Structure 1
């Protein structure tokens, strides 16, 4: 799949670069604080109380977001944002510094709660500041860099914590003192961040409005959008289940590492391996498995993370646990990057913000409930010793049970998400996956097809498909190929009657399901009467619309189940899939203005319908990028034509028949 355009870097903008330094320090401090605070809480307690102490720290970190989120947004609206951020960082510095100085568990909880409250005031001020420091066309890139800094600082913080833990073990004899050095360093990062932000005079005192509705309002407002399509349902189930399993792991990691004989340094290593694995999953898997369906990969990533979790809970070896933790993180990273991308493509622009707010709110609630329940689950299970043959003893304690429960949850939600999102039903999963590892795209054998090439042009109304299909056919004929140009609906006698019925504005009472079946009927006749015979004789078939139009118009546009529509059309066409699908991507408000004649029944649909159709096409291309070429349809006609020619040229057959080599022995045939 080809996309155009690449955003310029924004770190050359001095004010943003300085703000980015402060953001990176703040993120580093946040991750380091999780490790240091849980380590300190564990050292201040003994026995089974350690589970509850660590769980209490995590609850104290999550609870403020559920209570004070709206108030934080209001403060960002009304006060000088630079001063708000500076004061927040100074307060965090003082609170973190006080925790090791006081050295009591109750103050640790109070200070952690206050730190998170202060952070809630800092975040909206930061979010409102970034758009004022970079040009609008570079805002997306700036947000990407900020997001990378937020999560990229986690393994750095984990490595730093491990080193500090080793140093502290030499300097301090008391376990309670060994986390103090990390907390002191953590406090300093916020002091430096405050100084950096204070020097940023470019931050405006107030510009625009930032409001954060309550968690309950976000959940209620977003609930109705989640069930709109099987894809969004599958994504929501998968993301929530993955975060629930992740919350269980975070809540029990410190105790489990200690159970395996590791100290604070080992805890830091295991924590960091999660994010190393996430980075590997996010950046490597989509590149290694370019030919594999993204929708399938989402569910499989969560299932893989669940299997790794199960092995972590069973194998009592710290080194193996660290490696398996990286695999678990890789599965989570795969699911996260695919989920983030697909929601951006599938959900309407007008409600995408509410959908993300809904998901983030539910994630907070789920994390809070899971983290609060983990100590009780571990406490109920207790400690057990299983006597194995050969006088071996296997230790199975509360942390093992928590990890296994989290693994079961991850596998179940992964299976549910896979079932909701599978866009290649009928294609064997194992063969599909193995083919993708080899860099190939697996398709079922098609006995109806021999040597021809099948090209489909797709896109919304007014995208220019018909024009480009005609120009492509003329160009191919000029190259000496046998070309059949066709269209849907209406390329057969039966299809002409169906076309008149489908596009007639008087057919307003036609149900969405009936419409879908009529398009499938036209397509079945089209394939049997026009496309298959042409492919059998080795011709190149260029069609204006094919199955993807039904998936986008009736699936996304009419909001029917895309999987069911795909299954009906797969049967109607005997599994015939284009070698290349070209999508001309044009915003609906531009495409709908290109008509000179009165609009037909489909063209007369409201703009929201056509926007859903556009997102449907883009989601299809994102799921199988090897088979698609996506072109910005607002470009000039010659530019679009040139890009189509460049891509089509790569799949054209050898114009010299293989038999010619035997006859002439002078011109070898070119084989792919």
Structure 2
């Protein structure tokens, strides 16, 4: 295995040197990527199936809309502890983290199959099961560049993210259908099976690798978590990416989160209302799939990087016409156009972010990012939902989107030069200093986290 932790061994090394166009065949030719990809897909489908089913199960048992909503929103709570939980993935091998997490969640979700389980117990089980998501996602994110290499990374990330959007649409639709037409426990049983299948795929499809953080480098878990925050927000390149991703999330999630109320604004017919809601909710993920596949497949990497500050302004800008209260079909079109640009933008940002991270800090940094995204979504939906209770919903979304557009313009103007990102990637790929001889508590932040920010014109 290569001594450089930022570079994988085997076929991916060849791709790192490749200057040609990367295709889907290239990434799926890697057996480890196929295993990791399939594990991720079945996990996503199972999660969305169970999320849709649990809301129905809780509602049937409690006849409370509030408790049903709580059962859906409880999935966000573990992300308040996400950075700390994600720091565990830097302490132990990524493969082990993913397998153990899948098996623990399999057992916990299986408890929901017990008939007559009290609603408070069900909510507690959901909360405990959700604690496995941050370390698993951090481990997957950190392992992906090791498996696919630098040249394949952008397309692999785009493939994963677009598949995730498709899995969300499929899981919600199928989960709700099974829960209403048959029984929610069928969907929950499928979720249990997906965790088992995911653990098997990782166990037999991903090879063992040592932990990226030696025991002698470990300090206190909270201190290591704080190092992840300092790394992300202490370097101009990483900080700029994080702020753009969080801002895009805050302003793009609103149509999906308010889709039910938005559909009710336009019609009193339950059948039409359901169709409008589904159309608005599915438009964003559908647009993301289209943008992610086409943009990241057809546009060269250098051009993608150059377009980032211009693309960032478009997702909230496309939603500004909702201020006029258009019909649901137009709303869905606007949401889809916003999703197309997000699909073009976010995988490129993610790939740049990954490459600018030292290997031993990747899981912690992704814990910060994943938690920020989840909590940003939660906060945005709660704030706009509260405002929509007192004001006309299209007005709320339109003004919210105007604010997002102005924020993105400011971020685009202050976007760092390409040289800043190039230097960050080069620094991250230099061998990290060994601290094993220094004794416990000697771990230090890599040089990329303390590089002084020099004002440079954006190119």
TM-score for both structures, normalised by structure 1: 0.48
Question: In the TM superposition, what is the alpha-carbon distance from 1:411 to its structure 2 partner?
Answer: 0.6
> Which residue in 2 is equivalent to 1:187?
192
Instruction: State how far apart, in whole Å, the 2-side matches of 1:249 and 1:83 are.
Output: 35
Residue 324 in structure 1 maps to residue 331 in structure 2: no
> Which residue in 2 is equivalent to 1:548?
none
Instruction: State how far apart, in whole Å, the 1-side matches of 2:416 and 2:88 are.
Output: 42
Equivalent pair of 1:299/1:417 in contact (CA under 8 Å)? yes
Greater strand proportion: 1
Instruction: State how far apart, in whole Å, the 2-side matches of 1:557 and 1:303 are.
Output: 23
Instruction: State how far apart, in whole Å, the 2-side matches of 1:357 and 1:121 are.
Output: 9
2:408 pairs, out of 414, 434, 440, with 414
Equivalent pair of 1:33/1:183 in contact (CA under 8 Å)? yes
> Which residue in 1 is equivalent to 2:292?
282
Instruction: State how far apart, in whole Å, the 2-side matches of 1:264 and 1:183 are.
Output: 24
Flag the 1:139–1:369 CA change in 2: closer, same or farther, 3 A.
Answer: closer
* RMSD after superposition: 5.1
Question: In the TM superposition, what is the alpha-carbon distance from 1:404 to its structure 2 partner?
Answer: 3.5
Question: In the TM superposition, what is the alpha-carbon distance from 1:245 to its structure 2 partner?
Answer: 1.8
Instruction: State how far apart, in whole Å, the 2-side matches of 1:83 and 1:289 are.
Output: 36
Residue 382 in structure 1 maps to residue 389 in structure 2: yes
Instruction: State how far apart, in whole Å, the 2-side matches of 1:275 and 1:52 are.
Output: 22
Equivalent pair of 2:80/2:375 in contact (CA under 8 Å)? yes
> Which residue in 1 is equivalent to 2:163?
152
Flag the 1:375–1:17 CA change in 2: closer, same or farther, 3 A.
Answer: closer
Aligned residue for 1:193, secondary structure, equals helix
Instruction: State how far apart, in whole Å, the 1-side matches of 2:353 and 2:106 are.
Output: 37
2:103 pairs, out of 84, 87, 90, with 87
Residue 239 in structure 1 maps to residue 250 in structure 2: no
Moved more, 277-286 or 122-131: 122-131
> Which residue in 2 is equivalent to 1:208?
211
Question: Structure 2: which 5+ runs fail to align?
Answer: 1-17, 431-446
Aligned residue for 1:209, secondary structure, equals coil
Residue 315 in structure 1 maps to residue 325 in structure 2: yes
1:334 pairs, out of 332, 344, 360, with 344
Question: In the TM superposition, what is the alpha-carbon distance from 1:225 to its structure 2 partner?
Answer: 1.0
Residue 110 in structure 1 maps to residue 117 in structure 2: no
Flag the 1:26–1:365 CA change in 2: closer, same or farther, 3 A.
Answer: same
TM-score for both structures, normalised by structure 2: 0.65
> Which residue in 2 is equivalent to 1:433?
none
Instruction: State how far apart, in whole Å, the 2-side matches of 1:202 and 1:359 are.
Output: 20
Moved more, 16-25 or 143-152: 143-152
Equivalent pair of 2:283/2:332 in contact (CA under 8 Å)? yes
Question: In the TM superposition, what is the alpha-carbon distance from 1:255 to its structure 2 partner?
Answer: 4.6
Instruction: State how far apart, in whole Å, the 2-side matches of 1:45 and 1:112 are.
Output: 19
After superposition, the C-alpha distances for 1:57-78 in whole angstroms (9 at most, x for unaligned) are 343253341453334554x359
Spell out the pairing of 1:525-544 with structure 2 (5 A cutoff).
none
Flag the 1:46–1:201 CA change in 2: closer, same or farther, 3 A.
Answer: closer
Question: In the TM superposition, what is the alpha-carbon distance from 1:152 to its structure 2 partner?
Answer: 0.6
Instruction: State how far apart, in whole Å, the 2-side matches of 1:156 and 1:112 are.
Output: 20
Equivalent pair of 1:277/1:329 in contact (CA under 8 Å)? yes
Question: In the TM superposition, what is the alpha-carbon distance from 1:368 to its structure 2 partner?
Answer: 1.7
Equivalent pair of 1:299/1:335 in contact (CA under 8 Å)? no
Question: In the TM superposition, what is the alpha-carbon distance from 1:302 to its structure 2 partner?
Answer: 3.4
Question: In the TM superposition, what is the alpha-carbon distance from 1:30 to its structure 2 partner?
Answer: 3.1
Instruction: State how far apart, in whole Å, the 2-side matches of 1:31 and 1:337 are.
Output: 22
Flag the 1:264–1:108 CA change in 2: closer, same or farther, 3 A.
Answer: farther
> Which residue in 2 is equivalent to 1:453?
none
Relative contact order, CA 8 A, sep 6+: which one is greater? 2
Flag the 1:41–1:331 CA change in 2: closer, same or farther, 3 A.
Answer: farther
Flag the 1:314–1:124 CA change in 2: closer, same or farther, 3 A.
Answer: same
Equivalent pair of 1:61/1:116 in contact (CA under 8 Å)? yes
Question: Structure 1: which 5+ runs fail to align?
Answer: 385-395, 424-550, 560-584, 590-606, 621-672
Residue 4 in structure 1 maps to residue 19 in structure 2: yes
Instruction: State how far apart, in whole Å, the 1-side matches of 2:246 and 2:63 are.
Output: 32
> Which residue in 2 is equivalent to 1:505?
none
